A and B are shown apart, each in its own frame.
Chain A
Amino acid sequence: MTEQQILDHISRGDETALDYLYKKYYPMMTKMVLKNNGTVEEANDVYQDALIVFWQKAISGDLKITSKISTYLYSICKNCWLKELSRKKRLSYTEQEGSIVQSDPEDIMSKVVQDAMEVLGDPCKSVLTYYYFNEMSMSEIAGRMNYSNADTVKAKKYKCKKRLDVLIKKNYTQEDFFN
């Protein structure tokens, strides 16, 4: 598969292209982490994160790639690993200082939303992820999900978002998020 073909597959949301990329560059990307004191688990995690960043950029049309995919992916991987190292360093410092390590509020919020998403039906999950994650237009979502037009998707998305809000607020108040 050529690089252009890979990007074409991604732009169509074909997740097999993600699988393909993952396998293709797995040794190269994880080696970088392993060579820099990372564990296999960390290497996997960093590579997956980097690949998803790449995927998201590519699928949302945000990707302005001037090099080979591997080069671009490698630089994302490197950044992700540096970020992780910096996080670990902070964590280690906090532990040394004897502070109580509290859960990151953003992580808590993310968990709340993810739990609520799990409860939604598949069409809602798809509409919302296409809209927020893939950043697809209403017409693109309509095409992908066989809806008659963009307005139908807009209405569907509105309903799904409302349902999600209800599920989130059912157990958590807005104040919980900000605390």
Chain B
Amino acid sequence: MKSGDQEEAIAQYLTRRMSEVERSAFEQKISESPQLAQKIEFEKQIAQGIKNYKKGILKSRLDQLELGPSIVETTSITTKTILAGITVIVIGGLSYFMLTPGEILVIENQETIIGTDGMAEDKNAKISLEIDTTYAMLSDKKEDERTSPITKDIENTTVKVSTKQSKKESKSDKVILQAEVEVVLPDMDGTEISFDETFDSLQDFSDDLMKNQAQVSSVPELEVEIEMKKTKKLKYIYVGEKLILIGDFSASPYQIIEDNTIAEKKLYLYFEQEYYVLSVTSEKKALIPVRDIRLLDYLVDLRNK
């Protein structure tokens, strides 16, 4: 057999181009010639090297594909947590109505309940407030307040304020926000405070809360719009401080989670049990659910906070 013919035969053998009969005959030759067997082993390695070469090219092609920011999140969350001192702002319950451009953000006033019963007995008592705030109408509820005087023993009082989200009635221009804010009141100096003083203090305090809430609600000038489309594919555009969500967001409320660190600001979307990373993009980009377990844990934790 000529050298060229033999090499061709080896190549055909290695790439399974031989028929069963040819293959058997060739294997017979291999078993009779150690030199041929060694040659085949050598050629096999070259063939494998060529395959690996192509494999490498395909892998680098895949590496360069843009997958969206979902699972490929590799930043160490722990490090981020330690180094950055994370400021988390959760804008909860931005109802899908908010997505209509041009809507005015209003915090609806409902009722104010101040519960201070029994606080006198507890040095570190907590005052729970459910305050539904309105920029203009807080004082309207003043006469409804029934509280016992707060005694001089109150120290390090923590006030927890939560405004509950409710669904906005259709055609209403109001949007109700959900926010939970914990505020530590300064130590009281021991003087007994009458109801009015208490209320004034609380009112001041609620004004502070209003301020806080306003800060929350205005989360760094992020403007969210929704382009309603009856499609299962969710997309978004996020450029500047404007976020446009494209798709059918009518089924349930969504949340924008902002994770501010010293190094960077990250935005996430929570919608229908899925988390999405929102990266800056001026073109429509598909929302791809986060699948990285560590990132998911982090986001769940973040959201729960």
> Which residues of A come within 8 Å of B, CB atoms?
15, 18-19, 22-23, 26-27, 30-31, 34-35, 40-41, 43-44, 48, 51-52, 55-56, 106, 109-114, 116-118, 125, 128-129, 131-135, 137, 154, 158, 161, 164-165, 168, 174, 177-178
Contact = CB atoms under 8 A, between A and B. Distances in A.
A110 B15 contact: no
B51 A177 contact: no
Nearest to A27: B291
Given A114-B56, A129-B53, A40 B72 contact: yes
A52 B52 contact: no
B288 A27 contact: yes
Nearest to A128: B50
A114 B59 CA distance: 14
Contacts of B291: 27, 30-31, 34
Nearest to A158: B4
A128 B25 CA distance: 26
B62 interface: yes
27 contacts: A18-B58, A18-B61, A23-B67, A30-B291, A34-B291, A43-B71, A48-B62, A48-B63, A52-B58, A52-B59, A106-B48, A109-B49, A110-B49, A112-B49, A113-B45, A113-B50, A113-B53, A117-B50, A128-B50, A129-B50, A131-B15, A132-B54, A134-B54, A135-B17, A158-B4, A177-B45, A178-B38
Contacts of B62: 18-19, 22, 48, 51
A40 B291 CA distance: 10
A42 to B, nearest CB: 12
B70 interface: yes
B126 to A, nearest CB: 41
Contacts of A34: 71, 291-293
B74 interface: yes
B229 interface: no
A106 B51 CA distance: 13
Contact of A15 (B55, B56, B61, B289): B61
Interface in B67-106: 67, 70-74
Contact of B65 (A22, A117, A178): A22
Nearest to A55: B58
A71 to B, nearest CB: 18
A131 B64 CA distance: 26
A128 to B, nearest CB: 5
Interface of B: 4, 7-8, 11, 14-17, 38, 41-42, 45-56, 58-59, 61-63, 65, 67, 70-74, 288-289, 291-293
Given A22-B65, A55-B58, A158-B8, A114 B52 contact: yes
B49 A117 contact: yes
Given A27-B70, A27-B291, A129 B46 contact: no
Nearest to B288: A27
Contacts of B41: 178
Interface centre among B11, B45, B63 (most CB of A within 10 A): B45
A83 B71 CA distance: 23
A178 B44 CA distance: 12
Given A48-B63, A56-B51, A117-B49, 10 more contacts: A18-B62, A22-B62, A23-B65, A110-B52, A112-B49, A113-B50, A133-B51, A135-B15, A137-B17, A161-B11
Nearest to B73: A40
B275 to A, nearest CB: 12
Contacts of B38: 178
Contacts of B67: 23, 26
Given A22-B62, A117-B53, A129-B50, A109 B71 contact: no
Nearest to B48: A110
A35 B296 CA distance: 12
B63 to A, nearest CB: 8
A52 B15 contact: no
B71 A133 contact: no
Contacts of A40: 71-74, 292
A48 B59 contact: yes
Contact of B46 (A23, A55, A168): A168
A48 B61 CA distance: 10
A35 B292 CA distance: 9
A48 B58 CA distance: 9
Given A19-B65, A23-B67, A34-B292, A113 B42 contact: no
